[in-house]
Chain A
Amino acid sequence: MTATIIFVLLFGLMLTGMPVSISLGLTVLAFLFFMTSVPVESVALKLFTGIERFEIMAIPFFILAGNFLTHGGVARRMINFATSVVGHWHGGLGLAGVMACALFAAVSGSSPATVVAIGSIILPAMVKAGFPKRFGAGVITTSGALGILIPPSIVMVMYSVATNTSVGTLFMAGVVPGLVLAFMLGALTWYRARKNKYPRMQLVAGRTGGQASIATIAGLSASLFFIAAPIAALWWLMGRLAPEGTGILVVILGIAWLLVARLLTQNRFVLRWVFSVAFLATPPVVVHALLALFLPTGGGTLLLALFVIWILAAIPLAKKGDLVEGMAISARHEALLVWRSFWESVWGLLLVIVVLGGIYSGVFTPTEAAAMSAVYAFFVAVFVYKDMGLKQVPKVLLDSANMSAMLLYIITNAVLFSYLLTSEQIPQAMADWMIGQGLGAIGFLLMVNLLLLLAGNVMEPSSIVLITAPILFPVATKLGIDPVHFGILITVNMEVGMCHPPVGLNLYVASGITKMGITELTIAVWPWLLTMLVFLVIVTYWPPLSLWLPRLLGMMT
């Protein structure tokens, strides 16, 4: 009964179009005033103490970091890097768009921000390259949704606030599904581009796709090798020499190495050596790492054996020449291009390591990682890339504060609302009722998906998560659904909701960039949206997809 009154009141107020935060707050005030003897005074205190938690403060920091990255030229360099890696395949720029969105998603926590950052640069470029407008808009609108699935993610922070799930674990759980979704969207892009014969980047005349791929892989592995190998060696050496205080010294020396390495990347001899060593070292190390991941083997003997096998195989390959194009630098245009764009964008890419590595290793709490990434992004934007002047900083701060304050205000009122629900014991009652209906885990998850997709038609993600999570969560726990899996499922649902009308922020942002009508955009988006729905079903009914990585890392049992 009370539940009905509360929800009718809430939805009634919401449908009049007033801000979601105000309707949540007014519902609580009205209910407490008319229906109970709870003193209304407690509301004011609750409005303060409700968001007095350090975890929530990750949201403004992530928004600030994202804004610095968008304005600071990081997105542009990431796009160049992605284009150099996947641009030679069918649908080149489209695929690069998917990859750039995935990369940017790994440093930004919001979907519309990802669409703006990547789309505003790559969409005009795609139209210029001869792609139909619809194709580009479809790719970017949906790939931008990766922003909230690949960590960091503001929606995941909201979920963790509403349900007390660990943010770090949620972030790690988002990695694999995010990569899988990026792969699925990329595969569809590739297929459609191939079918319709859309342009691809042809860098060297007469080069086949396979050869170009090998060259880019060579360039990629050389870049990774050059950045990681000295630091790994340093780590190992320091660990032997002075185990105490190794971590911080390695970080400092690592940064010093990066500064030196960037100066060396132009040198011909360095290049030649790095490419040769990377060519010899990368395949055995990668195979060894993959084997160690799935088999309980490992150790030096296996690595040595792999080295010998690879060198024996590589000599005839290198001699044959037409596959690897010899060892001459001039013949490897694509590899060099990847190398250059990698070192151009390395400061943006490193942020991924700062955030995820920092949280996983316990160096930072998620909120601290967010603050660090905001400072880092500011530094990179203003002093390294210099795409942004100090004069623009106050404007970025103000915009970020505006957006964060809006989200924090919704959180404040949602916490107030869930306090009301809890004190009236509504979540428990609803959980008992739903289980009493004989709803199993499978039926419940189906219902949750439908409910959230429906909610996605009228509300934006933060409000949906904050209102529904406290109600659905107890049922999920009672049915034995893992909280982390449930969080990822909700996040994917939110992603779908952002890409379809009538309320889909990604769509509106894309429509602002491309000047296409919403109806036309909806048609443009549907193949990718369908893929996302398929992916949603996979995520919902196959928990290991989300839970595998956090379990492997020992973050949950």
Chain B
Amino acid sequence: MLKALDHLEEWLIAFLMGAATVVIFVAVVHRYASGIPWPAFQDWLLTINLSWAQELCIYMFIWMAKFGAAYGVRTGIHVGVDVLINRMPDKPRAGFVLFGLLCGALFTGIVGSLGAKFVWEIAHTDQVSPDLEAPMWIVFLAIPCGSYLMCFRFLQVAWSFWRTGQLPHHDHGRVEGVAEVTDADLVPTAMKDDLHPRDVR
């Protein structure tokens, strides 16, 4: 069940990233291709209206941002100011880390609830987006869904930190597919970069 959710989340944000890129690419190519005086072909191109591409791209990226932020909690990519707490002894630091994670859960929980209320209200109007003419409540659904998922991820990470003292680590220095570098040169090390809290032993 949780595994399925993990995969769904990963596939969703990777798909949104790729799809948004393709949408903008097609829109730009279409804009210039329809300017060439090809016989017949030009008329056909001019009948296609892609003015909604920009809006679609924005909505896709906002969805990606909300769900990606939840995924980011799981991979530990969110940066913080950890200079101070990383120099503390383990016990108080564990307290601060837990406090931070729970604050994250609190914030996303509140925002999710506010968003849900907002979506509920807007679902009773017939507001649509300017270009796509998609119902706005579906578009805004990203806020409650993404935030609640993020809240869940914060609680999940907090729970596993409470039990094992380990946090997810994001590694900036990892490159895959660079031929010249052997694995020995680039073993992902847990970097103590003071932008992420350290584990507690």
Which residues of A are in contact with B by a Cβ distance under 8 Å? Answer: 13-23, 25-26, 29, 40-41, 43-45, 47-48, 51-54, 57, 60-61, 64, 70-73, 75-76, 112, 116-117, 120-121, 124-125, 244-245, 248-249, 363-364, 367-368, 371-372, 374-375, 378, 387-388, 392-395, 397-398, 400-406, 408-410, 412, 457-460, 463, 502-503, 505, 508-509, 511-513, 515, 518
- Known A116-B172, A120-B181; judge A402-B72 contact (CB<8 A): yes
Residues of B65-90 whose CB lies within 8 A of A = 65-69, 71-72, 75, 77-86
Assess whether A47 is in contact with B24, with CB atoms less than 8 Å apart: no
Which residues of B are in contact with A by a Cβ distance under 8 Å? Answer: 10, 13-18, 20-22, 24-25, 28, 32-33, 35-37, 54, 57-58, 61-62, 64-69, 71-72, 75, 77-86, 96-97, 99-101, 103-104, 106-108, 110-111, 114-115, 117-118, 140, 142-143, 171-181, 185-186, 188-189, 191-195, 197
- Known A404-B17, A405-B68, A503-B195; judge A43-B111 contact (CB<8 A): yes
A268–B28 CA distance with the chains assembled, in angstroms: 40
A387–B197 CA distance with the chains assembled, in angstroms: 35
A374–B25 CA distance with the chains assembled, in angstroms: 9
A-side contacts of B99, CB under 8 Å: 16, 18
A-side contacts of B103, CB under 8 Å: 13, 16, 18, 22-23, 26
A-side contacts of B28, CB under 8 Å: 364, 368, 371-372
A388–B108 CA distance with the chains assembled, in angstroms: 37
A-side contacts of B186, CB under 8 Å: 120, 512-513
Assess whether A52 is in contact with B65, with CB atoms less than 8 Å apart: no
B-side contacts of A23, CB under 8 Å: 80, 103
Assess whether B175 is in contact with A71, with CB atoms less than 8 Å apart: yes
Looking at B65, B106, B192, the one whose CB has the most chain A CB atoms below 10 A away is B65
- Known A54-B57, A76-B179; judge A508-B173 contact (CB<8 A): yes
Residue among B36, B61, B97, B194 making CB contact with A245, cutoff 8 Å: B36
Residue among B10, B22, B65, B173 making CB contact with A408, cutoff 8 Å: B65
Can you report 30 residue pairs joining A to B where beta carbons are below 8 Å apart?
A14-B80, A15-B84, A18-B104, A19-B79, A20-B79, A22-B78, A45-B118, A47-B111, A61-B21, A64-B17, A76-B178, A76-B179, A116-B175, A120-B175, A120-B180, A371-B57, A375-B21, A388-B177, A392-B177, A398-B10, A402-B75, A402-B77, A405-B13, A408-B64, A408-B69, A409-B78, A458-B81, A463-B79, A503-B194, A503-B195
Assess whether A371 is in contact with B24, with CB atoms less than 8 Å apart: yes
A-side contacts of B36, CB under 8 Å: 245, 248-249
Residue among B13, B15, B118 making CB contact with A402, cutoff 8 Å: B13
B1 CB, nearest partner CB in chain A, Å: 21
Assess whether B83 is in contact with A19, with CB atoms less than 8 Å apart: no
B-side contacts of A515, CB under 8 Å: 185
Given contact pairs A23-B103, A508-B191, A512-B191, a sample of 12 additional A-B residue pairs in the complex whose CB atoms are under 8 Å apart? A16-B103, A23-B80, A76-B180, A116-B172, A121-B178, A248-B33, A401-B71, A402-B72, A404-B17, A405-B13, A405-B69, A505-B195
Assess whether B185 is in contact with A367, with CB atoms less than 8 Å apart: no
A-side contacts of B17, CB under 8 Å: 60, 64, 397-398, 400-401, 404
A309–B132 CA distance with the chains assembled, in angstroms: 63
A458–B143 CA distance with the chains assembled, in angstroms: 30
A502–B17 CA distance with the chains assembled, in angstroms: 33
Name A381's closest neighbour in chain B (CB-CB): B177
Residue among A15, A25, A117, A512 making CB contact with B111, cutoff 8 Å: A25
Looking at A378, A405, A409, A512, the one whose CB has the most chain B CB atoms below 10 A away is A405
Assess whether B194 is in contact with A40, with CB atoms less than 8 Å apart: no
B118 CB, nearest partner CB in chain A, Å: 5
A125–B179 CA distance with the chains assembled, in angstroms: 13
B-side contacts of A26, CB under 8 Å: 103, 106-107
Name A503's closest neighbour in chain B (CB-CB): B194
A502–B84 CA distance with the chains assembled, in angstroms: 10
Assess whether B143 is in contact with A120, with CB atoms less than 8 Å apart: no
A-side contacts of B194, CB under 8 Å: 458, 502-503
Assess whether A248 is in contact with B21, with CB atoms less than 8 Å apart: no
B-side contacts of A460, CB under 8 Å: 79, 195
Assess whether A60 is in contact with B20, with CB atoms less than 8 Å apart: yes
Assess whether A120 is in contact with B185, with CB atoms less than 8 Å apart: yes
Assess whether A371 is in contact with B54, with CB atoms less than 8 Å apart: no
Assess whether B58 is in contact with A394, with CB atoms less than 8 Å apart: no
A80 CB, nearest partner CB in chain B, Å: 11
B-side contacts of A398, CB under 8 Å: 10, 13-14, 17
B-side contacts of A17, CB under 8 Å: 80-82, 84-86, 96-97, 100, 197
Assess whether B175 is in contact with A412, with CB atoms less than 8 Å apart: no
B-side contacts of A60, CB under 8 Å: 17, 20, 61, 64
Name A113's closest neighbour in chain B (CB-CB): B172
A-side contacts of B175, CB under 8 Å: 70-71, 116-117, 120
B85 CB, nearest partner CB in chain A, Å: 4
A408–B150 CA distance with the chains assembled, in angstroms: 14
- Known A503-B83, A512-B173; judge A40-B13 contact (CB<8 A): no
- Known A17-B96, A511-B191, A512-B189; judge A371-B25 contact (CB<8 A): yes
Assess whether A29 is in contact with B85, with CB atoms less than 8 Å apart: no
A429 CB, nearest partner CB in chain B, Å: 25
Assess whether A14 is in contact with B81, with CB atoms less than 8 Å apart: yes
Residue among A18, A116, A125, A405 making CB contact with B173, cutoff 8 Å: A116
A375–B28 CA distance with the chains assembled, in angstroms: 12
A-side contacts of B104, CB under 8 Å: 18-19, 22
Per CB-CB distance, the 6 closest pairs between chain A and chain B, nearest first, are A405-B68, A512-B173, A18-B100, A19-B78, A408-B65, A371-B24
- Known A400-B17, A405-B72; judge A21-B78 contact (CB<8 A): yes
A-side contacts of B13, CB under 8 Å: 398, 401-402, 405
B7 CB, nearest partner CB in chain A, Å: 11
Assess whether B57 is in contact with A513, with CB atoms less than 8 Å apart: no
Assess whether B62 is in contact with A52, with CB atoms less than 8 Å apart: yes
B-side contacts of A51, CB under 8 Å: 61-62, 65
